[in-house]
Amino acid sequence: MVQETIVISNPTGLHTRPAKQVVSEAKKFESDITIKFGEKEANVKSLLKLMKLGISQNHSIDIVCDGADEADALAHMKNFILNLEG
């Protein structure tokens, strides 16, 4: 299991469109991918669960990956989320 903390820079946070993109990217990996936000956490491969977290700009989140391709998944998801636009 690997994890890293990042800060959301997208001005709109993880609303519907960016969240949908994140879910699509997560599904490319075999590993389980979870985002932890405060006391809550969600499977990143589930749009509804991800959106229920209510993540906005400047919020700090933990990305946790566990599985065969966990290192690649973490690096990719971190980069993807940090570079999300609107």
Q: Give the start-to-end residue ranges of the domains of the chain.
A: 2-83
The reported pLDDT for the residue numbered 66 is 99
Please check whether residue 29 is in contact with residue 64, taking contact to mean a CB–CB distance below 8 angstroms. no
Query: Hey, which residues are catalytic here?
Result: 15
Q: Between residues 85 and 53, which one has the greater pLDDT?
A: 53
**pLDDT (tens digit per residue) in 28-83:** 999 999 999 999 999 999 999 999 999 999 999 999 999 999 999 999 999 999 99
pLDDT at 86: 63
Q: Which CATH class is domain 2-83?
A: alpha beta
How big, in percent rounded to 5, are the helix, strand and coil portions of the chain? Answer: 35, 25, 40
Q: Cα(46)–Cα(26) distance, rounded to whole angstroms?
A: 9
